Chain A
Amino acid sequence: MMTAAQPGATAVKQAIQWMLRLRESGHDPALQQQCREWRAAHHEHEQAWQRVIHLHQDLDLRAVPGAGLALQTLETSQRRLHRRQALKLLGGVAMAGTAAWLGKDLDAVNTWTSDYATGTGERRSFALPDGSLMQLNTRSAVDLAFSDQQRLVRLKQGELMIACSPQRPLLVQTRDALLEGFEGRFVARQDSDCTRVSVSHGRVAVHRPGNGPLQWIESGQNWRLDAQGTHRLQQVDMDAMAWTEGLIVTRDMRLFDFLSQVSRYRHGYLSCSDDIADLRLSGVFRLEDPEQLLQLLPRTLPVRLRQRTRWWVRVEGLA
């Protein structure tokens, strides 16, 4: 409720101008005199002046002890708050719009510029504009939106490894979440029904649309993110980082799951009969030549390969 005694907008704006001019001039005596005259000219001026001075003192952080961190704290938290609001407001809607929103939020938008992609069986490394390293696994595609304000990678399909350079967080958008990587190294894989994230160094923050508090993924952890929520995987049957060195490393992995993994690296049909799907496999396998890798199977497991064409392979029991 405004009362009649409120100074008008013009007086307030003038008072602000006076205050700024005085501050800027290091309180120049001539200017101070002029300001006193302006204040004395009208009761409304003096009233506006007093209010502006009080307001300015309240907002003056220079004199507060420990305020050296204020700017950084305010800027960082504001950026994250907006990102969080955007994500939560989107609710269950697909994340496609988030990137556009993030861009808007952060002022300087780059449209999605570079496209990076790999074909089946291909693995490639890229140096990102900020010095981070990105490696793409087989059948993967990402878009980048990098600007002075943000570093955003959209994982459209497949799997990537990011080794973040330390300047600023790097964002990776997948269908299920927005990942914020700090200095460190992590892998994200977009599966048909979830996103898998593994961190080998540093930590990653998970922002999800709709619900849930911020989730941190720490070094050494593996998580599954899907429509139902975020789940830490206590046991994994495959080393999440091994592909970056051209390997599949399994621990007690089901044969069926192993073949699903191998089929990501080769064309054509690859599966197994039900009776052997649950056989377990542990070992280190080279990804270079998936065909040769398959030839190894009968040596370690009681199975044989049934190959109709080069592109149609079925693993069956010996019986």
Chain B
Amino acid sequence: MPSNDSVQTLYSDHHGWLHAWLRSKLGNAADAADLAQDTFVRLLQRREHLQLNTPRAFLRTVARGLVIDHWRREELHRAYLEALAQLPEAQAPSAETRELLLELLERIARMLEGLKPKVRRAFLLAQCEGLKHQAIADQMGISVRTVERYIADALYHCYLLRYTDEC
């Protein structure tokens, strides 16, 4: 874990710059301040030593990940609200259910990041809609064997993320 001192130095030297950089990405000072803070919190939580040769490149890498997380949340909320708008009002889930679902969707979306679009789609058709492999193959115009391979690949991808990050 980096010493608090080194993060302290990093903070005093580069916080202003990082905030400005984030602001240029987000176009919003309040969000930029939050994410700048989060970036330094992340650093304090890291176990490996900081590479201080190029501190700004390093900060930017961490911060970019947080910006993408931030956008992902925004886009999920937006897409979910649009989808909800198509439902009859009686079927709309409670506010609490929505929050839970959005949290779950965010976790899943993060996990599936980096998968090829077809792999992702095959996997989601199985997980969200409960479709059988044959139905997925028909819908996507690919063979059942390919569907099986895609879904297994996606699960393995998620497995690695979940069980190599946590320990």
Contact = CB atoms under 8 A, between A and B. Distances in A.
Interface string B100-114: 110011011101100
Contacts of B121: 75
Interface residues of B, number: 54
Interface in B74-115: 74-76, 78-80, 82-84, 87, 93, 97-98, 100-101, 104-105, 107-109, 111-112
A24 interface: yes
Tell me what chain B mostly uses at the interface: helix, strand, loop, or mixed. Answer: helix
Given A52-B159, A75-B124, A80 B98 contact: no
A265 to B, nearest CB: 37
Interface stretch (B5-13, B34-42, B50-58, B125-133): B125-133
Interface string A60-83: 111011110111111111101100
B71 interface: yes
Given A70-B128, A88-B25, A3 B167 contact: yes
A71 B125 contact: yes
Contacts of A69: 80, 83-84, 87
Given A13-B152, A52-B159, A61-B128, A211 B25 contact: yes
A162 interface: no
Contact of B75 (A67, A71, A81): A81
Contact of A64 (B74, B87, B104): B104
A106 B143 CA distance: 21
Nearest to A15: B159
Contact of B132 (A24, A51, A55, A88): A24
Interface of A: 1-3, 6, 12-13, 16-17, 19-20, 24, 51-52, 55-56, 58-62, 64-67, 69-78, 80-81, 84-85, 88, 106-107, 210-214
